[in-house]
C-alpha cells in the first residue's frame, strides 16, 4: 500500500515546551527515522513524507536555512541505514530552488539506494501539487489524446519521481489540522484520510499502527457499492 504523511506540528511542539522552533524540527527528524523503520516493518510498499512545501518559503529565512541543513544532515546519516534495510530514497518536488550542496546530497542518496528492493521512501521537498498539475498540463497541451496514466507519467516527470508510486491509499496528517495543504492532490483522489491529534514529534509506531488499523476497517468502494449493498 501507499501511505502518505503530512508531518505537522514541529513548531507548536517546541513552542509548548518553551523551546526554539528548530528544536521541534530536530525532534521531528527523529520521528521520521522511527516512522520509516516502522512502516518498513509493517510492509508498507511506498511511504511519502511531506517535508517542505512550496508555501514554506514564506517562513523566516533563519528557519528555512535550519530546515535545509537538517534535511541535508538527514540524508547524510540515513542513506546508509536505508541501504542496509533495502529502502529506496526518492526526493520529489522542485529542484530549481534548492542549494547545490543539497542537490548533490539528494543525487547521492538516490543513487546509493537505487538497488533497494524494499520500501520506497519518497520525501517531498519544495513540493506543490497545484504547481505540479499545472506544469504537467502544460506538457500535455499538444497531445491529441491523454489518458489518466499518461497524465500521471507527466506528473512523475515534473516531480522527479524515479519510480512509479501509484495512488495514495492512506493519507495521515498529524497536528490536529484537517486539510490536504496542497499535498498529492492528484494521487489522493480516492485516499482514505486519517487525522491524528498528536504533534509530529510525538508520532510513533503505535500511532502508525493505529492509522493502519483504522484504514483496514474501512470499505473502499471507489464510487461503487459494497458487497452487502450490491446483494
Which residue numbers are catalytic? Answer: 8, 56
Angle of the 148-158 helix axis to the 129-140 helix axis, nearest 10:
120
What angle (nearest 5°) sits at the alpha carbon of residue 223, between those of residues 218 and 228?
60
How many angstroms separate the CA atoms of 74 and 44, rounded? 21
Nearest to 204 by CA among 40, 37, 25, 85: 37
How many angstroms separate the CA atoms of 147 and 107, rounded? 31
As beta bridge partners, residue 91 has 123
What are the cell numbers at 205?
509506531
Amino acid at each position: 500500500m501507499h501511505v502518505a504523511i503530512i508531518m505537522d506540528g514541529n513548531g507548536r511542539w517546541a513552542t509548548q515546551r518553551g523551546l526554539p522552533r528548530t528544536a521541534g524540527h530536530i525532534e521531528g527528524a527523529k520521528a521520521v527515522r522511527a516512522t520509516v523503520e516502522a512502516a518498513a516493518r509493517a510492509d508498507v510498499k511506498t511511504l511519502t513524507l511531506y517535508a517542505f512545501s512550496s508555501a514554506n518559503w514564506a517562513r523566516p529565512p533563519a528557519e528555512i536555512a535550519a530546515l535545509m541543513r537538517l534535511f541535508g544532515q538527514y540524508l547524510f546519516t540515513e542513506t546508509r541505514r536505508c541501504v542496509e534495510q533495502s529502502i529506496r530514497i526518492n526526493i520529489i518536488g522542485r529542484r530549481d530552488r534548492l542549494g547545490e550542496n543539497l542537490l548533490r546530497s539528494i543525487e547521492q542518496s538516490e543513487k546509493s539506494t537505487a538497488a533497494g528492493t524494499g520500501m520506497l521512501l519518497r520525501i517531498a521537498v519544495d513540493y506543490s501539487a497545484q504547481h505540479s498539475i499545472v506544469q504537467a498540463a502544460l506538457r500535455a497541451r499538444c497531445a491529441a489524446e491523454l489518458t489518466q496514466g499518461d497524465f500521471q507519467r507527466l506528473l512523475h516527470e515534473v516531480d522527479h519521481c524515479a519510480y512509479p508510486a501509484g495512488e495514495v491509499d492512506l493519507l495521515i496528517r498529524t497536528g490536529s489540522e484537517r486539510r490536504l495543504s496542497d499535498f498529492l492532490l492528484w494521487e489522493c483522489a480516492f485516499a482514505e484520510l486519517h487525522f491524528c491529534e498528536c504533534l509530529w514529534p510525538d508520532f510513533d509506531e503505535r500511532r502508525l499502527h493505529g492509522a493502519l488499523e483504522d484504514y483496514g476497517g474501512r470499505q473502499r468502494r471507489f464510487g461503487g457499492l459494497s458487497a452487502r449493498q450490491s446483494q
